[in-house]
Structure 1
Amino acid sequence: MKLSWWEWLPFRRWRIVGTVEFADEIPERLPKRAVVLVASGGPPKWVGFKCPCGKGHEVLLNLDEGRRPTWALSLSETGKISIAPSIDYLDGGRRCHFFLRNNKVLWAKDSIR
């Protein structure tokens, strides 16, 4: 998957920049607020993006209701992205716990970014 130069502009809002067939095809480098869907001919099974904390780790969330845990990705009429429930990333001493609602990141109080 090749991203256009304008996807790297810093003022871009949360947006879907592409779809790949397999999760290992998600580019290692992604712009801020860029979401990649993983789908092979049907509805998306996964969503991947860089964590908004800025530390560089990737978040990969399951969208398939047949597997647990499951998240739901929704787009508003104006293209704003929401993911439910919250995203909780724990790695060693760092915890990134946030909500993505209408293109806004809302950090939970228990985050240690």
Structure 2
Amino acid sequence: MLAEDDGEAWSIGMKCPCGCGDTVELMLLAEATPRWTLTLDAKGRPSLSPSVWRKSGCRAHYWVINGRVRWCR
């Protein structure tokens, strides 16, 4: 789910892809730390940069590239 204010995206939320059931919220605002960059390809599939690395809970580490989860080893 993408949160926007006056057309500016500021946060993206998703269920953790590991299946733990937690909601992951990532900040997109330039002044936020840490922050992620969201891009959409020509088909509207999202990519996030940098990777998502949960430091607590399930500790999942993954990339979202063209709408797909790519797990880090």
Superposition TM-score, scaled by structure 2 size? 0.91
1:77-113 CA-to-partner distances (Å, cap 9, x unmatched) read: 1111100000011224x3100000011111111xxxx
In terms of fraction of residues, the more helix-rich structure is 1
> For residue 98 of structure 1, what is the amino acid of its counterpart?
Y
Q: How many residues align?
A: 73
Which residue of 53, 56, 73 corresponds with 1:88?
A: 53
> For residue 55 of structure 1, what is the amino acid of its counterpart?
C
Question: Is residue 2:33 matched to residue 1:61?
Answer: no
Residue 104 (structure 1) aligns with: 68
| Displaced runs of 4 or more, over 3 A | none
Structure 1 SS opposite 2:9: coil
RMSD value over aligned CA atoms? 1.1
1:18-97 matches, cutoff 5 A? 36-92=1-57, 94-97=58-61
Task: State the structure with more CA Rg.
Answer: 1
Superposition TM-score, scaled by structure 1 size? 0.61
